[in-house]
Copies of this chain bind each other. A is one copy, B any other.
Amino acid sequence: MLFDKNIFSMIILYRPITIIKEENEISVKPNSREAILKTAAQLFFTQGYHATGLNQIIQDSKCPKGSLYYYFPSGKEELALECINSIKKIVLDKWKEHFGYKQNAADAIQSFIEALADDAVRSDFEGFMPFNFWMAAETSPISDKLRKTCQTVFAEWQSIIADHLVLGGIPADKAKEKAVVIVSLLEGALILTLTNKDKETLLTVSSYIPCIVNN
């Protein structure tokens, strides 16, 4: 499975803490930080930032309220920033994996997209798909901090693609352009895939990757 949910828990650093019990009954469980981040990322990236309330995160993560405010004292935006950075890394690692086992950059990009398509089917077109990053458009107008963090995510995804296109002999300026086209294509294709509940769009755009890379 391309984006196994367990991968997420692996990349979040476990920060051991002591259990705190204060007058006002704030309790913090060890492992809470990890559980909160995992739950929050899944909610933000499936139903969106606005639709996700702190109460739902607390409820779904089965963590005490105190943990959320202990680890993320600034609340939802801080939590979202951390989730976005984690997602960025998960997807970068996936790109590295595909570029690692395919010699040719176009082949690697196609294999990445096909794995995305399988993932979409497996999640019944509703589950957690880190590369599905429309949250960037949702949050951009309301928080410049979130917008800039999402901007970095797209830039780093483009950068790893461009670097591998350059390794394949494409001039740097063209490689940069093609990476922009490829990330745009995949983000849009994911919107259509989830709307149609059908992996066909992803497979169709995948078949156009050689054309984009080689022309």
Chain A contacts to B: CB under 8 angstroms: 46-48, 50-51, 125-126, 132-134, 136-138, 140-142, 147, 150-151, 154, 177, 180-181, 183-192, 194-197, 200-201, 204-205, 207-208, 211-212, 215
Residues in B with CB closer than 8 Å to A188 are: 183-191
| B133 and A191 form a contact (CB under 8 A) | yes
> Which of B50, B186, B194 contacts A51, CB < 8 Å?
B50
Report the bound CA distance from A27 to B163 in whole Å.
62
Residues in B with CB closer than 8 Å to A200 are: 180
| B177 and A204 form a contact (CB under 8 A) | yes
> Which of B132, B201, B212 contacts A137, CB < 8 Å?
B132
Grouping DSSP codes into helix (H, G, I), strand (E, B) and loop, the A interface class, with mixed when no group exceeds half, is: helix
> Which of B140, B177, B205 contacts A195, CB < 8 Å?
B140
Q: How many identical subunits does the complex contain?
A: 2
CB distance from A161 to the nearest CB of B (A): 13
Report the bound CA distance from A34 to B134 in whole Å.
29
| A185 and B181 form a contact (CB under 8 A) | yes
Residues in B with CB closer than 8 Å to A154 are: 192, 195-196
Beyond A125-B140, A205-B184, A212-B208, is A191–B50 a contact (Cβ under 8 Å)?
Answer: no
CB distance from A208 to the nearest CB of B (A): 5
| A187 and B180 form a contact (CB under 8 A) | no
